[in-house]
C-alpha cells in the first residue's frame, strides 16, 4: 500500500471538478429529508407546543382538548417514552421537560393527519406554568454564579510575574456575540417502522451514529434496531451535529406508538427559537509587551454562554482555550475558561467550534494595543508570529511555522499592500467624512477533534464486475463537497475515471460507529478510510494483473481505467477486464476501510498534549470604507492566501474559503441576536426570529474585489494525498474585515488612541467607534517612543475611557463590558 500522502501519476484528486450534486442543486432535483415525504403514505405531521416563558415549572398539562381537534391523532408526552427521556449525552436535556428552560422550549408534540391539524392541536393543548426567575445574559450569569460543566485552564510559564515586570501593560474586556446557523434546510426527520420492528429514520444530521444512539435510548432499544440515513443536508455549519437527535427521537417515538410514518420539520421560526447558536463569549484580559512590541504575557478569563444545557459547550470551550494564541507566540500565559448557564437555547457547535471566539480575543488585544504602543498593527502582528521550533501554550510544537511567514509575505505581495496603504492614507487625508482602513490578519487553526476517540473513520467500497465502483463512508454531505472529494480519492486510488465512481447515502447500517462530520476533519478521516479500502482492493487486483503481465505486483500501475506495468506500455489491460478476471479467480472485490489519526494525545483535565494532527494556516488583507455620518461601510477588497496542503479538489476548496470568509464576516459585522431582556411577559423571547430581523450577509456584503489564492508547495505528510482541511479555518480570515473597520474608525480621530469596537461591529457599533475617535484628545505620549507607556489596570481603564470620550459607553467606561446595557446586547 502506498503512503497516505503520495499521489500516483495522473491522479483524479487535485483536478478542478464541479460539486457532485451541482446539477441537481441548480435544477431543484436534489432530494433532502423533507422531499422524501411523498414516499411515505399515511404520514403524520408533528408540531411542538412551545412554552411562552424563559423559565417556568410545568404544573399541569392537559392534552384532551387537542385530541378533540379534527385530524389530531396523538399527543406525545413524557409518559409515552419507553426508554430514557433525554435528548443528549450528558443526561441534562429532557426530551419532554417538566421545567421550561428557555422561551420556546417544546413541552410536548402533537401528531396530526395534516400539518394544519397538528398546529391547531398544539394550540389547543392546555399547560399551566409557574414562572421562575430567568438568567439571560452573561452579566447576570456571572453575578449569580450560574455555571455548568467543568472549568478549564491553559497555562505556561508564570503569567503574573511576567506581567509584573512587563514595560508595557494593558487590560480590558470584550463581549463576543453569538450567531444563528441559518442553514437553508431547517431541521427535519422522517421516521417509520418496518414489518420486523426495525426503526428507520431519515434525518438531516451531521452525526448519524449519535442520532441512532439517542433514538435507541429514548425508545429503549439497542442500536442495531435503529438505522439512520442522511441523504444530504441543505447546510449544517455545526448546527446539526448534536441538535437533530431529539427531533429524530420525537419522530421515531411517534412512528413506534402509531405504527405510521412521522414527519417532523421545523419551520424557520421554530428552528431559530428552538435550536442552539454559536456561543457568545465574554473575555477579561491583562497583557504585557516588551519594548520591542513583543508579547510577554497574557492572563485572561473566558466565559461562554452555554444556554440551558451543556450540549457541546465543554469541547467548544476547550477549543477556544487552545486557540487564544491564534498565530502568535505568548511566552507566559494563563487563560481560564468557564461555561455560564442561562435560560436560552442550548448553544452548540458552529463552524470553528469555539476557535473563532478564542482567536478573536488576542486579535482584539493587538488591534487595541497597537496605537498605544506606537506600532503599526500589521507590524505588531508580524513581530509576534510563531517561529519554527516554538510551541503552543498546551505544549504542541507548531509544525511548519515557516509557512505562516511565507503566507504573510505572499499576501502582502499579492495585495500590493504597501502601495495601497499609501493610497489609503491619501484618501483619508482628502475625505473628512469617509475613511478607509486596511488590515492584515493571520490564521493558525488546529485540525482534529479535541476528543481523541472521534478521530477515526470507516468506509465500505464495492467494485462490481463491470468495473464500476460504489463507495460508502461515514461522513455526511451538507454542501461542503465531501462526497465530491471522496469520489476523487476513490478514483485516484483505484486508477479509474471519476464517472465510474458513485457514492451512496450515509447510513449507519453500512458504516457503523461513525464520528460527526465536523472539526474540518471529514475529508481527512473519511478520505483515509476510503483510500484504505481501495488500496486493499487494488492490491488484490495487482496480484491478478501481475500474473497476466508477467511482472511483480509492486510494478503494476493503475491509471485512467487501464492497468499496465512500470516502465512499459506494450501490454495494457482494461480495468473492467481485470475485475472480471479477478472475479473468475474468486478474488474479493469489496473491502471495509478504516483510518485512525496517528500521533494524537490529549489530557483534557491538564489541557496539555498534542490534540491536533496539524495546523492550517492562512492570511487575509481587507480594505473597507466607513461613512462617518452613519457608520455604514462597504468592503472594498479582500485578498486571501490560504494553506489547504495539496488540494483534493481546488474548486471545492475555493468555494469553502470564500463561503467561510463571508460567514465569518457576517458573524463579526452584521449578525446580531437580540433577546427581550425586559421584566415583562416576553422576557427571554428571541426578537430576531427571521431574515427580516436577523441580518445575513448577501451579495452586497461581498468584497467588491475578491481574490483567493491556494498556497503552493504545501504538501502535508500523513494526510490523504497531502491535503489539508478547509471547512473551518477560512472563517477566521474575516478578522481582517473587523480590524480594517477599527482602523477606518480610528482615522476619524487623532493617531495613537485605542479604538474599541463591539462584536458584531454593526454600522451602529462602528458609528459609536467613529464618534469616540472624533472626541478623543490628542495623546500626550507616543507609546514605545516615550515614557508613560507602562500602564496598570486603572491606567488602562482610564485610557480606554478617554478614548471613548462620550457617545455609546465602552467596556471600560461602564466598569467593564458586564456593566451596561451595551454589554447585554453584546452578550445576546
Phi, psi for 189 (deg, rounded to 5): -145, 145
Q: Cβ of 327: how many Cβ atoms within 10 Å?
A: 27
58 Cβ neighbours under 8 A, 6+ residues apart: 51, 97, 98, 99, 100, 107, 127, 128, 129
| Dist CA 625 CA 696 (whole Å) | 20
Phi, psi for 139 (deg, rounded to 5): -60, -45
Residue 186 DSSP one-character state: P
Nearest Cα residue to 237 out of 276, 282, 201: 276
Burial of 336 (0-12, 13-18, 19+ CB in 10 A): middle
377 Cβ neighbours under 8 A, 6+ residues apart: 366, 367, 370, 371, 439, 739, 743
- Name the packing angle between helices 355-373 and 735-746 (round to 10°): 30
| Full strand arrangement of the beta sheet holding 501-503 | 501-503, 469-473, 456-463, 590-596
- E-only strand ranges, 538-672: 556-559, 562-565, 568-574, 590-596, 601-603, 608-610, 614-627, 633-642
Query: Per the structure block, which three cell numbers stand in for 67?
Result: 385530541
Q: Is 712 a catalytic residue?
A: no
Nearest Cα residue to 734 out of 672, 670, 664: 664
| Dist CA 193 CA 175 (whole Å) | 48
| Dist CA 551 CA 663 (whole Å) | 54
Residue 664 DSSP one-character state: H
Considering 477, 610, 623, 728, which one is annotated as catalytic? 728
Provide the annotated active-site residues: 728
Amino acid at each position: 500500500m502506498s503512503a497516505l500522502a503520495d499521489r500516483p501519476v495522473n491522479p483524479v484528486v487535485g483536478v478542478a471538478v464541479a460539486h457532485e450534486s451541482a446539477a441537481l442543486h441548480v435544477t431543484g432535483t436534489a432530494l433532502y429529508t423533507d422531499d422524501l415525504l411523498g414516499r411515505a403514505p399515511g404520514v403524520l405531521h408533528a408540531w411542538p407546543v412551545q412554552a411562552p416563558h424563559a423559565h417556568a415549572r410545568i404544573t399541569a398539562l392537559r392534552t384532551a382538548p387537542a385530541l378533540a381537534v379534527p385530524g389530531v391523532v396523538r399527543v406525545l408526552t413524557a409518559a409515552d417514552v419507553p426508554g430514557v427521556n433525554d435528548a443528549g449525552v450528558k443526561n441534562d436535556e429532557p426530551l419532554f421537560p417538566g421545567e421550561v428552560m428557555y422561551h420556546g422550549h417544546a413541552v410536548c408534540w402533537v401528531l396530526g393527519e395534516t400539518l394544519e391539524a397538528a398546529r391547531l392541536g398544539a394550540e389547543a393543548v392546555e399547560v399551566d406554568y409557574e414562572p421562575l426567575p430567568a438568567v439571560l445574559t452573561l452579566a447576570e450569569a456571572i453575578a449569580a454564579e450560574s455555571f455548568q460543566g467543568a472549568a478549564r485552564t491553559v497555562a505556561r510559564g508564570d503569567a503574573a510575574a511576567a506581567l509584573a515586570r512587563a514595560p508595557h501593560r494593558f487590560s480590558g474586556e470584550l463581549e463576543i456575540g453569538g450567531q444563528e446557523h441559518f442553514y437553508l434546510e431547517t431541521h427535519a426527520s422522517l421516521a417509520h417502522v418496518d414489518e420486523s420492528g426495525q426503526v428507520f429514520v431519515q434525518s438531516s444530521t451531521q452525526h448519524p451514529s449519535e442520532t441512532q444512539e439517542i433514538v435507541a435510548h429514548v425508545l429503549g432499544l439497542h442500536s442495531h434496531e435503529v438505522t439512520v440515513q442522511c441523504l444530504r443536508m441543505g447546510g449544517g455549519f455545526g448546527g446539526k451535529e448534536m441538535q437533530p437527535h431529539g427531533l429524530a427521537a420525537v419522530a421515531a417515538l411517534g412512528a413506534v406508538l402509531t405504527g405510521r410514518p412521522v414527519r417532523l420539520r421545523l419551520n424557520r421560526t421554530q428552528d431559530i427559537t428552538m435550536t442552539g447558536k454559536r456561543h457568545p463569549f465574554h473575555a477579561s484580559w491583562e497583557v504585557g509587551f516588551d519594548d520591542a512590541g513583543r508579547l510577554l504575557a497574557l492572563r485572561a478569563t473566558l466565559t461562554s454562554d452555554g444556554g440551558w444545557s451543556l450540549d457541546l459547550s465543554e469541547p467548544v470551550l476547550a477549543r477556544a482555550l487552545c486557540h487564544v494564541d491564534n498565530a502568535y507566540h505568548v511566552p507566559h500565559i494563563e487563560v481560564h475558561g468557564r461555561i455560564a448557564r442561562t435560560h436560552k437555547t442550548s448553544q452548540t457547535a458552529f463552524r470553528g467550534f469555539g476557535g473563532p471566539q478564542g482567536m478573536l480575543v488576542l486579535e482584539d488585544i493587538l488591534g487595541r494595543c497597537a496605537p498605544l504602543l506606537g506600532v503599526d498593527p500589521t507590524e505588531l502582528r508580524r513581530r509576534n508570529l510563531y517561529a519554527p521550533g516554538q510551541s503552543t501554550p498546551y505544549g504542541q510544537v507548531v509544525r511548519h511555522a515557516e509557512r505562516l511567514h511565507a503566507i504573510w509575505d505572499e499576501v502582502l505581495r499579492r495585495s500590493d499592500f504597501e502601495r495601497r496603504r499609501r493610497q489609503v492614507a491619501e484618501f483619508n487625508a482628502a475625505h473628512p467624512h469617509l475613511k478607509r482602513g486596511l488590515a492584515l490578519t493571520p490564521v493558525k487553526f488546529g485540525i482534529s477533534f479535541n476528543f481523541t476517540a472521534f478521530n477515526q473513520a470507516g468506509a465500505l467500497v464495492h467494485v462490481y464486475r463491470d468495473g464500476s465502483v460504489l463507495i460508502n463512508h461515514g461522513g455526511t454531505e451538507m454542501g461542503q463537497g465531501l462526497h465530491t472529494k471522496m469520489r476523487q480519492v476513490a478514483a485516484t486510488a483505484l486508477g479509474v475515471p471519476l464517472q465510474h465512481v458513485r457514492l451512496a447515502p450515509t447510513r449507519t447500517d453500512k458504516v457503523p460507529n461513525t464520528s460527526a462530520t465536523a472539526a474540518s476533519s471529514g475529508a481527512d478521516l473519511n478520505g483515509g478510510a476510503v483510500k484504505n479500502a481501495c488500496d486493499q482492493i487494488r492490491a488484490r487486483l495487482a496480484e491478478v494483473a501481475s500474473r497476466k503481465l508477467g511482472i511483480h505486483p509492486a510494478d503494476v500501475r493503475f491509471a485512467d481505467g487501464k492497468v499496465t506495468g512500470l516502465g512499459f506500455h506494450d501490454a495494457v489491460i482494461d480495468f473492467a477486464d481485470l475485475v472480471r478476471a479477478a472475479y473468475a479467480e474468486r478474488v474479493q472485490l469489496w473491502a471495509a476501510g478504516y483510518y485512525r489519526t496517528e500521533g494524537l494525545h490529549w489530557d483534557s483535565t491538564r489541557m496539555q498534549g498534542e490534540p491536533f494532527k496539524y495546523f492550517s494556516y492562512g492570511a487575509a488583507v481587507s480594505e473597507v470604507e466607513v461613512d462617518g455620518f452613519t457608520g455604514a461601510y462597504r468592503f472594498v477588497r479582500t485578498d486571501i492566501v490560504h494553506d489547504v496542503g495539496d488540494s483534493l479538489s481546488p474548486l471545492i476548496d475555493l468555494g469553502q474559503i470564500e463561503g467561510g470568509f463571508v460567514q465569518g464576516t457576517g458573524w463579526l459585522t452584521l449578525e446580531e441576536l437580540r433577546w427581550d431582556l425586559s421584566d415583562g411577559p416576553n422576557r427571554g423571547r428571541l426578537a430576531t426570529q427571521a431574515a427580516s430581523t436577523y441580518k445575513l450577509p448577501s451579495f452586497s456584503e461581498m468584497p467588491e474585489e475578491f481574490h483567493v489564492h491556494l498556497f503552493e508547495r504545501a504538501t502535508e505528510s500523513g494526510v490523504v494525498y497531502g491535503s489539508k482541511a478547509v471547512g473551518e479555518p477560512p472563517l477566521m480570515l474575516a478578522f481582517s474585515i473587523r480590524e480594517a473597520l477599527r482602523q477606518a474608525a480610528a482615522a476619524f480621530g487623532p493617531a495613537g488612541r485605542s479604538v474599541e469596537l463591539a462584536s458584531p461591529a454593526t454600522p451602529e457599533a462602528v458609528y459609536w467607534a467613529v464618534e469616540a475617535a472624533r472626541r478623543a484628545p490628542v495623546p500626550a505620549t507616543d507609546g514605545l517612543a516615550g515614557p508613560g507607556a507602562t500602564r496598570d489596570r486603572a491606567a488602562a481603564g482610564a485610557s480606554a475611557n478617554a478614548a471613548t470620550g462620550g457617545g455609546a459607553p465602552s467596556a471600560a467606561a461602564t466598569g467593564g463590558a458586564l456593566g451596561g446595557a451595551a454589554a447585554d446586547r453584546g452578550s445576546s
